[in-house]
Structure 1
Amino acid sequence: MLRSFVTSALRSVCRQPPAASSLVPLVQRIQRASLVTLARPSLLPTSSLTSPAPLQFFQLPGGLSATGSAPSTRTVTKFSLIKGKRKTVKAVLKRFKRLEWGAWIRTHSGRQKKLFKKSSALRRRLKQHVFTNATQSWLLDKMVTNFWRRPKHYINDPYRPYHSRNEYYATQSKIFKV
C-alpha cells in the first residue's frame, strides 16, 4: 500500500526535469507528499501517536533533501550580513597553523587512534607534523582573513624554528640576503 503510494507520488513529482524556477514548487510538492506517515501499530504508546515525524523517501539531486535543507559544508562566507566582509572558516584555525613564510602545517590524521596496532616507526612518524602543498596553502589562505595571514608572535612558540626558511632565496630573511 505504502510502496504504491510512494511510487505514484514520485511519478507525479518527477515526470519532467525541474527547471531552476520550478525547483521551489517541486520541493513543496515533495514536502506535502512526505508528510503522509505510516499507519502505526496500536502497540505503541499514545504519546508517540501525537507527534508523527514526516518520512523522507528520497534525496533530490544537487544535495537538497525532501525538507529542502542543503548539506553542511565548510565554505567561505563571501559577504557577512552585518559588515559585508569575508569571514574566516574556523575549522582551518583549529586544524592548521600558518608559518611566517606562507606554508601551513598540520598534524597527521589518526595519530592517536589504535596505537596498539601501529609499529614504533609509524608511531614516531605520526608525532611529526606535515606541511601542506602549494595548492592546499593557497586554498587555506583564501579561507582565512588577512588578520590570520599576518605573522603572530607567541611566547615560547614551539614552532619558532620553522618560521624562518633561509635556504631558499624567496623566503630568506633580510639578514641572510646577499
Structure 2
Amino acid sequence: MHLCSIHNKQYSKPPSTRALLLPQPAPCLFESNTLKTLRAFSVLNSSPPSLETRSFLVPTSPEQHSTRSLTKYSLQKGKRKSVKAVIRRFFRLDWGIWIRPKCGRHKKIYTKSWRRRRRLRQHVFTNSTQSWLLDTMVTKYWRRPKYYPDDPYNPYHKREEYPTTRRTPQIPVVAS
C-alpha cells in the first residue's frame, strides 16, 4: 500500500516537469551561441555548460585512437627508436617468428592444477600479422640473429622440420 502511494505521487507530476527529467541531446559545437556561453562561463560555476546538458545515453564515436608510441625520428640523432615494451615482453627467433609466455602464469598459482601450471610455463607464437607489427616496432638490431652462450632457445632458432623452410639439405635415408 505504501509503495503504491509513492508511485502514484511520482506519476502525478505535471508533464512539463517530467520532460525536464529526460536527458537532453548534446549541443552542437558549431552553433553561434556556444561561443557566448563559453564566454559567460566563470570560475564560480562547478562545470562547463556543455557538460551539464550532455546526455550520456546518446552514443558517441570513439575519439581516442590506440597508440603504440613508436618514435620514427628521435630528437637527438633523428633515428628510429624501438618500443621498449616489445623488447621486454616478446622474443624474436631467428626465422622471424615472435614468441611470448602465456598470460596469467604467475597469478593465483595455488588454484591451478599441475597440468595447467605446466601449460602456462610454455611459450606461444604470435601470428603473421602480429609478427609483422612487432618487426615494424623494433629496429634492425633486434631483427638480427643474436648468439648467446648457453641459449635455452637455441634448438628453436632453426626450422628444419618442414621441407619448404629447410635451409640445410636433408640427408637421404637408404633403406637396406
TM-score range, shorter chain: 0.5 to 0.7
Q: Work out which of the residue numbers 129, 132, 140 in structure 2 matches 1:135.
A: 129
- The Cα RMSD (Å) is 3.8
Task: Give the count of matched residue pairs.
Answer: 135
Q: Work out which of the residue numbers 88, 92, 95 in structure 1 matches 2:86.
A: 92
Name the % identity. Answer: 55
Shift of 1:99: 0.3
Shift of 1:169: 3.5
Amino acid at match of 2:160: N
Tell me which residue corresponds to 2:99. 105
Contact 1:101 1:171 in 2 (8 A): no
Tell me which residue corresponds to 1:163. 157
CA distance in 1, matches of 2:109, 2:141: 37
Shift of 1:16: 2.4
The alpha-carbon distance between structure 1 residues 36 and 161, as it changes in their structure 2 partners (threshold 3 A), is farther
The runs of 5 or more residues in structure 1 that have no matched partner are 1-9, 18-25, 39-56, 64-70
The alpha-carbon distance between structure 1 residues 102 and 80, as it changes in their structure 2 partners (threshold 3 A), is same
Tell me which residue corresponds to 1:50. none
Shift of 1:36: 5.3
Tell me which residue corresponds to 2:72. 78
**Cα deviations across residues 11-43 of structure 1 (Å, max 9, x unaligned)?**
5xx5328xxxxxxxx9xx69xx696575xxxxx
CA distance in 1, matches of 2:156, 2:106: 24
The alpha-carbon distance between structure 1 residues 124 and 77, as it changes in their structure 2 partners (threshold 3 A), is same
Contact 1:164 1:171 in 2 (8 A): no
The alpha-carbon distance between structure 1 residues 150 and 16, as it changes in their structure 2 partners (threshold 3 A), is same
Shift of 1:114: 0.7
Q: Residue 174 in 1 paired to residue 138 in 2?
A: no
The runs of 5 or more residues in structure 2 that have no matched partner are 1-25, 55-60
Shift of 1:176: 4.3
Structure 1 length as normaliser, TM-score? Answer: 0.60
Contact 1:76 1:143 in 2 (8 A): yes
Tell me which residue corresponds to 2:63. 62
Contact 1:103 1:132 in 2 (8 A): yes
Tell me which residue corresponds to 1:66. none
Shift of 1:61: 5.8
Structure 2 length as normaliser, TM-score? Answer: 0.61
Contact 1:77 1:87 in 2 (8 A): yes
Shift of 1:107: 0.2
